[in-house]
Structure 1
Amino acid sequence: MEQLPLFDTPEWSRRVGVFDLETTGVDVTRDRIVTAHVGVLDAEGAVLSARDWLADPGMEIPDAATAVHGITTAHAREHGLPAAQVVAEVSAALRDLLDAGIPVVAYNASYDFSLLKYEAIRHALAPLDAPAPVIDPLVIDKAYDRYRRGKRTLTAVAEHYAVRLDDAHEASADAVAAGRVALALVERFADLLPSTAAQLHTDQIGWARDQAESLTEYFVRIGRIDPAEKLDGSWPVR
């Protein structure tokens, strides 16, 4: 029997940070943080550290957002920390990980990191505007399995890679699941992934740009957006 080649997993995957936000909406420049999670997983996906935040976003949480993550305006006002404190602490936790050379996994990273950036600016805090290295399972999955049919939500992709996700749209559950999807991608595509997190970060910048251009062309073709419009492919911060 022919022996298949063995590929070493990249060293950066031995420990990864994880990050997720639940928010008041989907506009990164105007919406606010409601809950946040920053943690660390080992190479097997076990949780090594975890921290959660609940913020009072300083605005009404729309019913549509509450329907997603379950946090009401009244609950956030009664139990949440001031928004500026949460933004400062989440940014500091992420900086600590990145400064230690630990890559941070975030699913659809350009959403979470962009919203965090604009929250920092809103509260006159130093924005985390060039985080690196960042690992985005959404971008990587699209790059290496481009033609797979079906949705690319975290729930769908977690199911595809046999990663358990019990409480979707709860920040800690989503963050941990995204980290475990990233580790599953490492195992699945070990022979294709770059050996360093820095190179993977750079690769994702190009992949995200190309994916946005392709999606723009598709949306124009089906009449969803005007031909003059263009999706922003900036990554990991818009």
Structure 2
Amino acid sequence: MTKLSVNINKIATLRNSRGGNNPDLVRVALDAERFGAQGITVHPRPDERHIRRSDVFALRDTISTEFNIEGYPDERYMNIIAEIRPAQATLVPDPPEALTSNAGWDTYKEKDFLVEVIRELKSYGVRTSIFVDPDPMMAEGAAATGCDRIELYTEHYARHYHEDKEEAIAAYVATADKARSLGLEINAGHDLDLNNLKYLKERIPYLDEVSIGHALICDALYYGLENTIQMYLRQLL
């Protein structure tokens, strides 16, 4: 079964645009769980332009599904993980000023750094996932760091899906197969939506988890959050 983790960054962005607590981030997370989501994902950036540090602690104290915290593993992020002890820490290489995640790790160039980070995260009992581009060599490099999972950065797949979906998915299948052969589990995320998610699942049926935020929240404006989550879950059957 492939789990759906709902990224609620966009809910925090909307709340922060007007101040106050509307929409209520914790309530949305609890509703997402009640509507069928098997996880909640957040990315607390240093400038707190969406998720705030206080949000992470509030969510820890209330949600009951898997909590996935994304981020660049600087001292601030590592301290959050040490205190929260989420189910999963997903490491992304983007700098603090990046608008959104836009590339995977070079798992060879950054091996020593990642080995050290993952060793610390595992000492907290946290599952580790590394954001990677669709390249079997990057999966090999990830396996050498001692991580538990990779997360396939699916922006390229989503961008080219409507042009040639077989070509768009090929490198992802190869990377996932390599990772699996090395004992890694597979996550995926970035620009996945109701159009391209089902085919991704069909071609990589052993996906453990997808993390979806922007498209899901946009769809919820038209279909409602409960219906939208159910629609996404059906793509993963």
* Max Rg structure: 1
TM-score (norm 2): 0.27
Larger RCO (CA under 8 A, 6+ residues apart):
1
TM-score (norm 1): 0.27
